[in-house]
Structure 1
Amino acid sequence: MNVIEWLFDAQLHIGNQAILWREIVGNMFGLASALGGMRRRIWAWPVGIVGNALLFTVFLGAVFDTPNPINLYGQAGRQLMFIAVSIYGWYQWSRSRNSPTHVAVAPRWAGNRVRILLGLGMVGGTLLLTPIFTALGSFEPVWADAWIFTGSLLATYGMAKGWTEFWLIWVAVDIVGVPLLVSAGYYASALLYVFYGVFTLIGFFVWMRVQRRAKLATALS
């Protein structure tokens, strides 16, 4: 068995529960990407893409004949969305790669108008996608799957734009994501979502501090 076959089929057994190692590894890549995003490093994007590719196969359990036969179409679909938006973010941040500080983006507030649009987008996207995911046969409650997909899209786009508020969108995603993943039996992802929730709050305050320092440096210059 080569490394790729092992990664695809290997399982961790805890009691009577079987967890795919690629679910664990995919989420660890996601956590590493979040760390890179907090530090505003370009490598966050390609690292995240690797994790997305792995998790896409995990959340289509029935399709890929995994130990968990539950399909979460919103979770699987958002991995493809992540890859597409990450390519955009990678391009956006790489435009500043020659910065002396090697920092790809300067955090800033999105502003009230954008915040309103993001809020409407969260609600509207959830309402739009819920019947679509229902027709595909996604796991109940389907609105939660749609909420996670929509929030993930907006948060990833916000990260690419450098809006500090994107961290708070992730918090909203994690609050819904943890109970959904537990009920669907994706325990490794649910546990990582708990860490994500704490991490995203830390990231939010880190970016706020960066903004304050930049504002102070501008005032003193």
Structure 2
Amino acid sequence: MIDWLLNATFTIGGSELLWREVIGNGFGLASALGGMRRKVWAWPVGIVGNVLLFTVFLGSWFGSEGRPDMLGQAGRQVMFVAVSVYGWMRWRETRKQALEVRADGKVPSSDAEGVHPQWATWPQRAFLVGALVVGTLALTPLFKALGSYEPVWADAWIFMGSLLATYGMARGWVEFWLIWVAVDIVGVPLLWSAEYYATALMYVFYGAFTLVGFFVWWRVNRRERLSAA
């Protein structure tokens, strides 16, 4: 089974695709859907996809040849796992809370919902933007020294954006969906040029999906605030 998972491929339009790349992105899509619905199971499902995609982006380590290793993409899978554990614990704790209206007008999630969507404050938004820019500038020379795929700044941008978006999702900030949009805009051309076609196409779909998720969380936030009022 492990040998099949590492080596199984199929061909579309003359291009050979790894099954584990497709399956890993499938788990990622399921995790995104669960996140939009505020389900705690989104986190462990996403972790499974992260492990599979880690082996994809470090293909030379796992018997795959013909495509360049992408250190930023592989590194972000490790980061995903670490932040996902934090998000998983945070959402589980939130789900345990009984439904109540607090003095600040926010209503904790109940039933199977693991988070209460809220808008980030302006200082938090400034932190997200600043961390994205500074982190990209700081990681670019590091990734370049490690031999990451060009343009290296794009790989660093994707890494930092993914880190901040996952953290924002764990905190329940509505804006985290927009960070994913910024990641997808850079990620699609980068992955396509590196011949990671399945992931590039999935990023196109993610781009539309994240916009939907943004408006879903926006409506949930508005509805719960009106309910609290």
Q: TM-score when scaled to structure 1?
A: 0.96
| C-alpha contact (below 8 Å) 1:122/1:150 kept by paired residues | yes
Task: Decide which moves more: 89-98 or 141-150.
Answer: 89-98
| C-alpha contact (below 8 Å) 1:18/1:67 kept by paired residues | no
Give runs of aligned pairs for residues 71-220 of structure 1, distance below 5 A. Answer: 71-99=69-97, 100-219=110-229
Kindly provide the CA deviation profile for residues 147-179 of structure 1, in whole angstroms up to 9, marking residues without a partner as x: 000000000000000000000000000000000
Per the alignment, in what secondary structure is the counterpart of residue 10 of structure 2? strand
| C-alpha contact (below 8 Å) 2:47/2:81 kept by paired residues | yes
| Letter of the 1:115 counterpart | R
Structure 2, gaps ≥5 residues long? 98-109
* Separation in structure 2 between the aligned mates of residue 15 and residue 175 of structure 1, nearest angstrom: 24
* Separation in structure 2 between the aligned mates of residue 91 and residue 211 of structure 1, nearest angstrom: 21
| Letter of the 1:155 counterpart | A
Against the structure 1 CA distance between its residues 95 and 31, is the aligned structure 2 distance closer, same or farther, given a 3 Å change threshold? Answer: same
* Separation in structure 1 between the aligned mates of residue 178 and residue 14 of structure 2, nearest angstrom: 36
1:29 to 24, 27, 30: 27
How far 1:101 sits from its partner (Å)? 2.2
| Letter of the 1:97 counterpart | R
| C-alpha contact (below 8 Å) 2:6/2:62 kept by paired residues | no
| C-alpha contact (below 8 Å) 2:6/2:63 kept by paired residues | no
* Separation in structure 2 between the aligned mates of residue 97 and residue 9 of structure 1, nearest angstrom: 40
* Separation in structure 1 between the aligned mates of residue 66 and residue 129 of structure 2, nearest angstrom: 33
* Displaced runs of 4 or more, over 6 A: none
Please name the residue that 1:9 is paired with.
Answer: 7
| C-alpha contact (below 8 Å) 1:68/1:185 kept by paired residues | no
How far 1:106 sits from its partner (Å)? 0.3
Per the alignment, in what secondary structure is the counterpart of residue 62 of structure 1? helix
Kindly provide the CA deviation profile for residues 33-85 of structure 1, in whole angstroms up to 9, marking residues without a partner as x: 00000000000000000000000010012222314330100000000000000
| Letter of the 2:184 counterpart | D
Please name the residue that 1:39 is paired with.
Answer: 37
* Separation in structure 2 between the aligned mates of residue 122 and residue 37 of structure 1, nearest angstrom: 22
| Letter of the 2:220 counterpart | V
| C-alpha contact (below 8 Å) 1:53/1:79 kept by paired residues | yes
* Separation in structure 2 between the aligned mates of residue 166 and residue 201 of structure 1, nearest angstrom: 10
| C-alpha contact (below 8 Å) 2:154/2:187 kept by paired residues | yes
Per the alignment, in what secondary structure is the counterpart of residue 16 of structure 2? strand
RMSD: 1.0
Q: TM-score when scaled to structure 2?
A: 0.92
* Separation in structure 1 between the aligned mates of residue 217 and residue 183 of structure 2, nearest angstrom: 19
How far 1:111 sits from its partner (Å)? 1.1
* Separation in structure 2 between the aligned mates of residue 93 and residue 68 of structure 1, nearest angstrom: 40
* Separation in structure 1 between the aligned mates of residue 126 and residue 136 of structure 2, nearest angstrom: 16
**What percent of counterpart residues are identical?**
65
How far 1:8 sits from its partner (Å)? 1.6
Per the alignment, in what secondary structure is the counterpart of residue 19 of structure 1? strand
* Separation in structure 2 between the aligned mates of residue 63 and residue 151 of structure 1, nearest angstrom: 25
Task: Decide which moves more: 178-187 or 60-69.
Answer: 60-69
